[in-house]
Structure 1
């Protein structure tokens, strides 16, 4: 999507949505991103095979707006990387 088009859509939506509602939306999104960032900061990444990994991955996406990369735990010759 072109950046200019995205800005036009954003400006249109800000013009349509009343100011107090737009302010509330911004406040909620900001609080959600902040809380998710704190959770990711202090919660060690679980093993990718764990059931909690999906929840951790969701928090990571909400905090950074990108998917986490899984670190490699073994080298090509099968030795564990520390």
Structure 2
């Protein structure tokens, strides 16, 4: 989904939903994203064949709003791993 379209949908929903409910929803989403970001920060990437990789992939998607595309020969910064 394009980020501009997602932002437009988000702004529309915030306009339709009452303010106190929208505020609570934003607080919950912010908390979830923050927790997922902390988990991804300190949890090493599991092997793609392990059972934990699917869970890590979901948590990574919630933390960064994009699917992980990590190569085995490069780290997150694009540096080659020996």
Structure 2: how far apart are the matches of 1:2 and 1:54?
23
In structure 2, runs of 5+ residues without a counterpart are 74-80
Partner of 2:51: 51
Offset, 1:69: 1.2
Q: Give the structure-2-normalised TM-score.
A: 0.75
Structure 1: how far apart are the matches of 2:2 and 2:53?
34
Cα deviation digits, residues 25-61 of structure 1 (max 9, x gap)? 0000000000000000000000000000000000000
Q: Give the structure-1-normalised TM-score.
A: 0.75
In structure 1, runs of 5+ residues without a counterpart are 74-80
CA RMSD of aligned residues (A): 2.5
Partner of 2:77: none
